[in-house]
Chains A and B, each alone.
Chain A
Amino acid sequence: DTGVSQDPRHKITKRGQNVTFRCDPISEHNRLYWYRQTLGQGPEFLTYFQNEAQLEKSRLLSDRFSAERPKGSFSTLEIQRTEQGDSAMYLCASSTPTGHPNTEAFFGQGTRLTVV
């Protein structure tokens, strides 16, 4: 396992369609994060999992967004009824081998979503 993997790397979708992104974290990491990054801005926190439990959600995560991490390994982020404002880079990160808090987060290369 060489790092955090995200799929797909790019997604173009029509407004109103649903999209789903996948993140495979570093295998021994029990924390997983989703961030959104728009052009010219820093990443903004969306949600956080510790193992399979979703422990925090940002106000940025509207009802159209849902994230899961069913077995405490990979995670999916779904956006329903996409809007043009959802166009952004969606970054996944993982951190913290169990028992070692506050190690640095390792990021994937992101999924760039374009809603047309």
Chain B
Amino acid sequence: AQKVTQAQTEISVVEKEDVTLDCVYETRDTTYYLFWYKQPPSGELVFLIRRNSFDEQNEISGRYSWNFQKSTSSFNFTITASQVVDSAVYFCALTLSHGSSNTGKLIFGQGTTLQVKP
């Protein structure tokens, strides 16, 4: 079975601080995708990134960066110089990507609520 764990329930930082959101996943499959989504108060899940299990290269997009380490089954997300607008719930998710499991069904973690104070 697949599982995603986000151990941090809530994080509070002051604007301009860097913050890292942790994500640990479990799967026996070798081919899968990992995702991060942002859920602002409006409720809509906003896609941030997708990472293939064969691509461990870290990625940076503006103030966002992602560290994928298969050895520790982790896919952590760092926001540099956080801003108040970053306040939201962030979800890490996993989907399998081969054969009959290739449905695109997402398995989500419980989410981390990030509060960025001015």
A contact residues vs B (CB 8 Å cutoff): 31, 33, 35, 40-45, 48, 50, 55-56, 89, 91, 93, 95-96, 101-102, 104-110, 112
Contact = CB atoms under 8 A, between A and B. Distances in A.
Given A89-B43, A104-B47, A105-B104, 7 more contacts: A31-B104, A33-B105, A42-B4, A45-B107, A102-B33, A102-B97, A110-B44
Interface string B98-118: 000011111111110000000
B60 interface: no
Given A104-B50, A107-B45, A109-B42, A41 B103 contact: no
B91 interface: yes
A96 B104 contact: yes
B104 A109 contact: no
A93 to B, nearest CB: 8
B82 interface: no
Contacts of B42: 109
A21 to B, nearest CB: 14
B95 A48 contact: no
27 contacts: A31-B104, A33-B104, A33-B105, A40-B111, A41-B111, A42-B4, A42-B91, A42-B109, A42-B110, A43-B106, A44-B108, A48-B103, A50-B103, A55-B103, A89-B43, A91-B45, A93-B45, A93-B106, A101-B102, A102-B50, A102-B102, A104-B47, A104-B50, A105-B47, A105-B106, A107-B37, A107-B44
A111 B110 CA distance: 19
- Main DSSP-derived SS at the A contact region: strand
Interface residues of B, number: 26
A108 B107 CA distance: 17
Which of B43, B91, B95, B104 has the largest number of chain A CB atoms within 10 A? B104
Contacts of A48: 103-105
A42 B50 CA distance: 17
Interface string B78-97: 00000000000001010101
Interface in B7-59: 33, 35, 37, 42-47, 50
A60 B44 CA distance: 22
Contact of A41 (B105, B106, B107, B110): B110
